[in-house]
Structure formats: structure tokens, C-alpha cells
């Protein structure tokens, strides 16, 4: 593996970790802060936030199941 490829791989992993960190924290913060405005704008019931939380939980599960395939595709395992 040449030096340029190793540098690109490290940069890719750093960007992937950063995007993962932001994408895991952003929906939780958004659900709590933006929900009152979303509820009022679309005339939803308070209980509809449960659907938002279930969908985000399913998204977390899918992403965690597929993360192994992603890391093996990019040869990032030791």
C-alpha cells in the first residue's frame, strides 16, 4: 500500500467517523427541539412523536447491522 492510498484511507475513515458522530446525535437533538414547531405546523397529535422515535430507532438498527458490511467493503478491518 503506497503512502497516498494510506493517507486517503485515513482521511476517509476520519470523515466517516465525523459524519457518523454527527448523524447519531443530530436526530435526537432535532426530535426534542423541533417537535413542538413540527407538531403545530402539521397539526399533529402529541403522541405522533412516538412514530418519529420508532422510525429513528429502526434507522439506528439498520445502520448498525450494515456497518460491518461497509467496513469490510472498504477493507478497514485489521
Compute the distance between CA of residue 68 and CA of residue 76 in angstroms, rounded to an integer: 10
DSSP alpha helices (H): ranges in the chain? 3-42, 49-73
What is residue 35's predicted lDDT score, i.e. its pLDDT?
A: 86
- Output the tens digit of pLDDT for each of the chain's 78 residues: 577 888 888 889 889 888 888 877 777 777 778 889 989 999 999 888 888 888 888 988 898 888 888 777 877 655
pLDDT at 78: 55
pLDDT at position 45 is 92
Label residue 38 exposed, middle or buried (CB < 10 Å: 0-12, 13-18, 19+). middle
CB-CB contact of 27 with 53 (8 Å): no
Residue 1's pLDDT is what? Answer: 56
What pTM does this model have?
Answer: 0.54
Amino acid at each position: 500500500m503506497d503512502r497516498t492510498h494510506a493517507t486517503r484511507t485515513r482521511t476517509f475513515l476520519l470523515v466517516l467517523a465525523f459524519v457518523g458522530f454527527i448523524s447519531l446525535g443530530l436526530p435526537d437533538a432535532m426530535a426534542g427541539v423541533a417537535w413542538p414547531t413540527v407538531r403545530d405546523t402539521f397539526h399533529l397529535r402529541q403522541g405522533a412523536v412516538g412514530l418519529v422515535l420508532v422510525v429513528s430507532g429502526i434507522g439506528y438498527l439498520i445502520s448498525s447491522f450494515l456497518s460491518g458490511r461497509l467496513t469490510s467493503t472498504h477493507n478497514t478491518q485489521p
